[in-house]
Amino acid sequence: MAFKLTPLPYADTALAPVISAETLSFHHGKHHQTYIDKANAAIEGTDLADKSLEEVIVAARGANQGLFNNAAQSWNHGFYWHSMAAESTTASDELVAMINNAFGSVDELKTKLADRGVGHFASGWVWLAEKGGKLSIEETHDGDTLADSGFNPLLVIDVWEHAYYLDHQNKRPAYLDAVIGTKLNWAFASENLARGTTWSYPA
């Protein structure tokens, strides 16, 4: 199957001023689209052509770095768009209880997410994830992903510079504070927790 660019789950102006329509036009319309196009080109005519994006990631890890990078980045970006919301959302009681157990409070989790994002060297991703009934903050570098990791990703924050540079220049802390404080999609995180299995990239 040919993979498709995941539509934004909100208008391109919906995250402004935290993330502008201009940033989304480049990040979603160009960066994400390029990853999709390169992944599709790499699997065309191969035995991976009819596989899901998750299956391609598993097959390419350690075997084909170029394909892995483009497939994993396609997945990460699709998950990232859904990790944010235009309007305020609420975490489920189950998720709140697990956050309180793991981090002390939702506010403390937000602080720790921001700290990990600020401290992450160079490009990558900061995740809220669940494994074995426990929550943790995980980091992946460059194009790596949790899609095939054994973790159940709940939310992700992109800390590549192209995610924030047009709006916040080199001020990664300002971007992180704004996204974590006002745009994280706690309803999406709650759905991922309740489902208990890793999110699937839309066919």
Task: State the average pLDDT over residues 179-200.
Answer: 97
In a domain, 66, yes or no: yes
Judged against a pLDDT cut of 80, whether residue 1 lies above it is answered with no
User: Number of C-alpha atoms within 13 angstroms, CB side, residue 62?
Assistant: 3
Judged against a pLDDT cut of 80, whether residue 12 lies above it is answered with yes
3-state secondary structure of 165: helix
Judged against a pLDDT cut of 90, whether residue 114 lies above it is answered with yes
In a domain, 13, yes or no: no
Query: Rounded to the nearest 5°, which phi and psi values hold at 138?
Result: -120, 155
Q: What is the pLDDT of residue 203?
A: 78
Interatomic CA distance for residues 5 and 125, integer angstroms: 20
51 lies in the same domain as 102: no
Q: What is the pLDDT of residue 131?
A: 97
3-state secondary structure of 3: coil
DSSP 8: P
User: Number of C-alpha atoms within 13 angstroms, CB side, residue 172?
Assistant: 20
Judged against a pLDDT cut of 90, whether residue 70 lies above it is answered with yes
Task: State the average pLDDT over residues 98-123.
Answer: 97
Task: State the average pLDDT over residues 15-30.
Answer: 97
Domain end, chosen from 82, 103, 126, is at 82
Task: State the average pLDDT over residues 68-86.
Answer: 98
65 lies in the same domain as 114: no
Task: State the average pLDDT over residues 28-35.
Answer: 98
Q: What is the pTM of this model?
A: 0.97
Q: Which CATH number goes with the domain that contains 108?
A: 3.55.40.20
Residue 199 neighbours by CB under 8 Å, 6+ apart = 79, 82, 153, 192
In a domain, 44, yes or no: yes
Q: How confident is the model at residue 9 (pLDDT cuts 50, 70, 90)?
A: very high
147 lies in the same domain as 98: yes
103 lies in the same domain as 190: yes
E strand or H helix at 131, and its extent? strand 124-131
The boundaries of the domain holding residue 146 are 93-195
What is the count of structural domains for the chain? 2
In a domain, 175, yes or no: yes
133 lies in the same domain as 169: yes
Task: State the average pLDDT over residues 169-180.
Answer: 97
In a domain, 10, yes or no: no
Q: Which CATH number goes with the domain that contains 59?
A: 1.10.287.990
Interatomic CA distance for residues 75 and 60, integer angstroms: 13
52 lies in the same domain as 102: no
3-state secondary structure of 55: helix
Judged against a pLDDT cut of 90, whether residue 152 lies above it is answered with yes
63 lies in the same domain as 100: no
Judged against a pLDDT cut of 80, whether residue 192 lies above it is answered with yes
User: Number of C-alpha atoms within 13 angstroms, CB side, residue 169?
Assistant: 0
3-state secondary structure of 136: strand
Domain end, chosen from 56, 82, 108, is at 82
Give the percent of the chain with pLDDT over 70. Answer: 100
> C-alpha angle with apex 57: 54 to 59, nearest 5 degrees?
110
The rounded radius of gyration (Å) of the Cα atoms in the chain is: 16
Q: What is the pLDDT of residue 39?
A: 98
